[in-house]
Structure 1
Amino acid sequence: MTEFGRYLRTETVGGFILLAATALALLAANGPWADAYQTLRDTAVGPHVLHLDLTVGEWAKDGLLALFFFVAGLELKRELVIGELSHLKNALLPVIAAIGGMVVPAVIAAGIGWGDPRMAQAWAIPVATDIAFALGVLALAASGLPSSARLFLLSLAVVDDLGAILLIAILFTGSFDLLAAAATVVLLALYWFLQHKRVHTPWLYVPVAVATWVAMHASGVHATIAGVALALLTRVRTDPGEDESPCLRLEHRLQPWSAGLAVPVFAFFAAGIPVSLNVFGELFTDRLALAVLVGLVVGKLVGIAGSALLAVRLGVARLPEGLGRRDLVAVAMLGGVGFTVSLLITELSLDGADMALAKGAVLAASLIASLLAAALLLRRSKARSAG
């Protein structure tokens, strides 16, 4: 491994790169280069066949982010098979927390926006947690917390995003290509077969992985799911005489590319939201904006922490090793960072000024949740150090 790879593998460095990319995006979208930034983001690149003529921003969101989901999925698979999540009660906690973190924000948003026709589909905007941004903030602010805090957040965020993407498939998929979906299943089965037969050459795996992504994209299903699906089919246990399993080997090789390229480039194109005083003036008065804002900041915290602690109290699940109830509440606050999929749902459910307003609410909610979570996490880290 190169020194640069080791450098990028540290969570703190990845968090700083992510925040720097976000700041650059906001400057680019609101400065003298705004037109050039929007032109670059909206420029179509790629062949029209199989709907691959995506914009640069879409390639970053659907293409590069699939690499991040693959790396996150590898870590999740490893923990499910040989790690802490291999125990049922440990694995149930992030699943229950993710479900609570989706239901409560949706109910709050629907309640605040009740009767507003714009909320017909916009109630789904605050259901999603952004894995990349949430993990970046956690890496920067929670150095004193055990590694189980990151695992809990990663697990619930993966389940959360899968649920949100399922909502997108139900609410917004205009067409579903059955043939492409069948091709996706066949390619995933081929990947599993290659893993089962202990094939190691990347000359087979890379084309299969790319073809799986293309087929899933063509089917109408959110293409980043391909990353998670491939990761969950990757072998975790080592064979006799094998130094590393494919899961661990891929995780080590791809994590620097995920942290140093995929996530920052995605953030640069996703976070470039034009901000105006008019939009911010309506955030606390417009019902649509309030529904999104309160749904993310309050609904996520209540839904994640409330359902998780209730499950622990009822004996259905148990807290991760070394993680206290107050630590869990601090981590749950990061659920309000709803960038990626929240913005995607916003674009699908609204248009024009309403879309700009809802995007402003997502941006404001993510910023508020990040700052509150960072404060809580730093406080918990100091309390642990002092204790």
Structure 2
Amino acid sequence: MPPTPSRSRRLLGRLSLPERMQVAEALRTETVGGILLLASAVVALVWANLWPHTYESVRGFTVGPAAPLHLDLTLETWAKDGLLTVFFFVAGIELKRELTVGDLRDRWAAALPVVAALCGMAAPALVYTAVNLGGGGDPAGWAIPTATDIAFALGVLAVVSTHLPSALRAFLLTLAVVDDLGAILVIAVFYTSAIKLWALLAAFAGLVVFFLLHRRRVHGWYLYVPLGLVVWALMHESGVHATVAGVAMGLMLRCTPDKGEQHSPAERIVHRVRPLSAGFAVPVFALFAAGVAVSPGALREVVTGAAPLGVVLGLLLGKSVGVFGGTWLTARFTRAELDPSLKWADLYALATLSGIGFTVSLLISELAFPGDPELAARAKAAVLVGSLLCALLACVLLRLRNRHYRQLWEEEERDEDGDGIPDVYQNDPRSGAPEAPPE
């Protein structure tokens, strides 16, 4: 009898050319946004510690109409509930695109980042809960260390000039997108208190109208932008976190072009909105959220208080163990093999990098302790400390392999015939690139 063919599959192999180009475009914008995010965080820390009264007065400045939907909000709240909606809108589009036309439309390809993201959310929550149950802390902040900030992570990669292969960057990007969706579900389910049913039903009706207009191929930003603002305002009034509206509308956009269309609506919109999200919305949110007191006493509370210590250990240990463990278990039980150009140490370094939980972690810090601003501030300081430790450790681990990464990157980029298609994709039926003409 002929031998039974092996059913092993390869983890983190080379991306198809269309997917690689899509990921490259997203990463360029997110990397620039990550550098701006780092700068905003530094400005916030300096501002809040040198001129705290000015910082608090600006952050607490109220603007907006009071009636009929109580939108007289502070600048901090506008950044948290308004600008982050743009961030989650882009995350919703990215997830929809990956699952419908991207590499994740294959269930096997989707399983790896989804399992890694779920394990990367569960493990930090368990670490935080264990620390707080044993130390008499507040368990309400269990979700703080569960988030991954892709912009911050890419900003770190840009600063240290790490030539990470596109497959690893795509894995990190998709992991963060799934993580963002999980975070918004956690916020909607666990950090929503009183709900105004009429506003929630009205927001849902607005989403139905949005979906029907889009399904019937009705065009015109002048229809969708006002409708989106109304849906956002109603969601905000309902008591459900307003960013849920952004994710919902992002998931509704069509990702496949109709006949005669060069690009789908999702592609066109995300191309325009992603720079706004990465270059303005997230950095401005960081400016108003990252300003926490940094002093010897505050840092001492981070490592002695149960809640902040749980955040730090959740990010530093929980994230790396969860993401790496989820990836390894997926390979173990599906008989998958890691791509020969990579090692499991590369995955662990990437898992450590995923412990940078800045934007959404800061958001959840405020939602978890609404009645205790001092504890919320300590949790934010813990997010900064944990993210910094993860960044430093990941940089060390990645730099140890950077020479190998550079070789892989140069191979991916080599285009000796100058036709705009990297040579590794020539005549590769999996690449989606046109075949070179015969000589």
Question: TM-score, normalised on structure 1?
Answer: 0.89
Structure richer in helix, relative to its length: 1
Query: Partner residue of 2:60?
Result: 42
- The partner residue of 1:367 within 370, 383, 388 is 388
Taking a change above 3 Å as real, the CA distance of residues 380 and 225 of structure 1, as seen in their structure-2 partners, is farther
Taking a change above 3 Å as real, the CA distance of residues 117 and 124 of structure 1, as seen in their structure-2 partners, is farther
| 3-state secondary structure, aligned to 2:304 | coil
Matched, 1:314 2:333: yes
Taking a change above 3 Å as real, the CA distance of residues 120 and 385 of structure 1, as seen in their structure-2 partners, is closer
Query: Partner residue of 2:218?
Result: 199
Shift of the alpha carbon at 1:150? 3.4
Taking a change above 3 Å as real, the CA distance of residues 337 and 182 of structure 1, as seen in their structure-2 partners, is same
Query: Partner residue of 1:270?
Result: 289
- Which stretch has the larger CA shift, 304-313 or 375-384? 375-384
- Which stretch has the larger CA shift, 270-279 or 138-147? 138-147
- Which stretch has the larger CA shift, 238-247 or 167-176? 167-176
Query: Partner residue of 1:3?
Result: none
- Which stretch has the larger CA shift, 118-127 or 81-90? 118-127
Shift of the alpha carbon at 1:174? 2.0
- 1:298-313 alignment, distance < 5 Å: 298-313=317-332
Matched, 1:105 2:121: no
Q: What is the rounded CA distance, in whole Å, between the counterparts of 2:110 and 2:339 in structure 1?
A: 9
The unaligned stretches of length 5 or more in structure 2 are: 1-24, 409-439
- The partner residue of 2:253 within 234, 248, 263 is 234
Shift of the alpha carbon at 1:38? 1.2
Amino acid at match of 1:302: V
Shift of the alpha carbon at 1:302? 0.4
Q: Deviations over 1:18-72 (max 9, x none)?
A: 21111111111111x3211111111122122323222101111221121122223
Matched, 1:154 2:188: no
Work out the percentage of aligned pairs sharing the same amino acid.
51
Contact 1:9/1:259 (<8 A) preserved: no
Shift of the alpha carbon at 1:335? 2.5
Higher radius of gyration, 1 or 2: 2
- The partner residue of 1:174 within 174, 182, 193 is 193
Amino acid at match of 1:221: V
Q: What is the rounded CA distance, in whole Å, between the counterparts of 1:67 and 1:347 in structure 2?
A: 19
Taking a change above 3 Å as real, the CA distance of residues 233 and 296 of structure 1, as seen in their structure-2 partners, is same
| 3-state secondary structure, aligned to 1:96 | helix
Matched, 1:335 2:354: yes
Q: What is the rounded CA distance, in whole Å, between the counterparts of 1:18 and 1:330 in structure 2?
A: 22
Matched, 1:283 2:302: yes
Question: TM-score, normalised on structure 2?
Answer: 0.79
Q: Deviations over 1:92-138 (max 9, x none)?
A: 22221122112111211222222444323133332222344234334
Q: What is the rounded CA distance, in whole Å, between the counterparts of 1:197 and 1:181 in structure 2?
A: 24
Q: What is the rounded CA distance, in whole Å, between the counterparts of 2:287 and 2:93 in structure 1?
A: 25
Q: What is the rounded CA distance, in whole Å, between the counterparts of 1:87 and 1:338 in structure 2?
A: 28
The unaligned stretches of length 5 or more in structure 1 are: 1-5
Q: What is the rounded CA distance, in whole Å, between the counterparts of 1:35 and 1:321 in structure 2?
A: 56
Two-structure CA RMSD over aligned residues (Å): 2.7
Moved over 6 A (4+): 316-323
Shift of the alpha carbon at 1:143? 5.2
Matched, 1:123 2:129: no
Q: What is the rounded CA distance, in whole Å, between the counterparts of 1:71 and 1:140 in structure 2?
A: 24
